[in-house]
A and B are shown apart, each in its own frame.
Chain A
Amino acid sequence: EAEVAQSPRYKITEKSQAVAFWCDPISGHATLYWYRQILGQGPELLVQFQDESVVDDSQLPKDRFSAERLKGVDSTLKIQPAELGDSAMYLCASSRQGPDTQYFGPGTRLTVL
């Protein structure tokens, strides 16, 4: 069964450093989502792609966060500079076009010291 892949699984960094996360969605899934999840809370959408285009980045802190999906397949989320409050789980998900199930990757646990 195909799964969403993410790397790294864990990342520890110091504040003001740059970090990058990678996501490879399920083949054929046009929609890709990046979420941030703080322990005990629901996933919060950061950015959503339809193919290579950003369709929703209203909750993305654009002064420090950026995301790209250049060829409409895999995606990278970057934080520069990282802040203490960025410590969280970063989840990637993908789905087919239309109202459909989201499949989540294993996530990247970020700790900012």
Chain B
Amino acid sequence: GENVEQHPSTLSVQEGDSAVIKCTYSDSASNYFPWYKQELGKRPQLIIDIRSNVGEKKDQRIAVTLNKTAKHFSLHITETQPEDSAVYFCAASIIQGGYQKVTFGTGTKLQVIP
């Protein structure tokens, strides 16, 4: 089955600096890669996603890049703010047997220091 590895597990940055979180996946047939942000005690919420036919996607301070050859994708947050502090999960999605199968990474706890 699919295996998704996520690094680092924790990340501390100064406010205003950039943060990068990296994920690798094992199944080359995976074709959809969402990123979720989960604040303490709250539900995971989608912040950005990318499909396999696109190499990069940007939404204001957040961007995701995908390298299908190397089977890795990354989340980039620029000009970090204290409200960016949360746990971030990557995921890889594949269609198997006609339905979507999603595998999550283990999460990165991001702390933005004011």
A residues contacting B by CB (< 8 A) are 31, 33, 40-43, 45, 48, 50, 55-56, 91, 95, 97-107
Within 8 A of A (CB), among B65-111: 89, 93-95, 97-102, 104-107, 109
10 contacting pairs across A/B (C-beta < 8 A): A31-B99, A42-B104, A55-B97, A97-B99, A98-B100, A99-B32, A101-B34, A104-B45, A105-B43, A106-B43
Which residues of the other chain, A, contact B31 by a CB distance below 8 angstroms? 99
Besides A31-B99, A55-B97, 11 other CB < 8 A contacts?
A40-B107, A42-B104, A45-B102, A48-B99, A56-B101, A91-B44, A98-B95, A99-B100, A102-B46, A105-B43, A106-B42
Task: Name the residue of chain A whose CB is nearest to the CB of B45.
Answer: A104
Task: Name the residue of chain A whose CB is nearest to the CB of B101.
Answer: A56
Contact A102 B102 (CB under 8 A): yes
Contact A41 B106 (CB under 8 A): yes
Contact B102 A91 (CB under 8 A): no
Contact A99 B51 (CB under 8 A): yes
Which residues of the other chain, A, contact B43 by a CB distance below 8 angstroms? 91, 104-107
Contact A100 B100 (CB under 8 A): yes
Question: B31, B42, B99, B109 — which one has the most chain A CB atoms within 10 A of its CB?
Answer: B99
Q: Please, how many angstroms separate the alpha-carbon atoms of A102 and B85 in the complex?
A: 22
Please report the number of residue pairs spanning A and B whose Cβ atoms sit closer than 8 angstroms: 55
Q: Please, how many angstroms separate the alpha-carbon atoms of A41 and B93 in the complex?
A: 19
Task: Name the residue of chain A whose CB is nearest to the CB of B44.
Answer: A104
B interface residue count range (under 10 / 10 to 19 / 20 to 34 / 35 or more)? 20 to 34
Q: Please, how many angstroms separate the alpha-carbon atoms of A101 and B36 in the complex?
A: 10
Contact A101 B49 (CB under 8 A): yes
Chain B's nearest CB lies how many Å from the CB of A98?
Answer: 6
Chain B's nearest CB lies how many Å from the CB of A30?
Answer: 9
Q: Fill in one digit per residue for B51-67: 1 if any A CB lies within 8 Å of its CB, else 0.
A: 10000000000000000
Question: A31, A42, A105 — which one has the most chain B CB atoms within 10 A of its CB?
Answer: A42
Q: Please, how many angstroms separate the alpha-carbon atoms of A103 and B46 in the complex?
A: 8
Q: Fill in one digit per residue for B29-43: 1 if any A CB lies within 8 Å of its CB, else 0.
A: 001101010000011
Q: Please, how many angstroms separate the alpha-carbon atoms of A33 and B44 in the complex?
A: 13
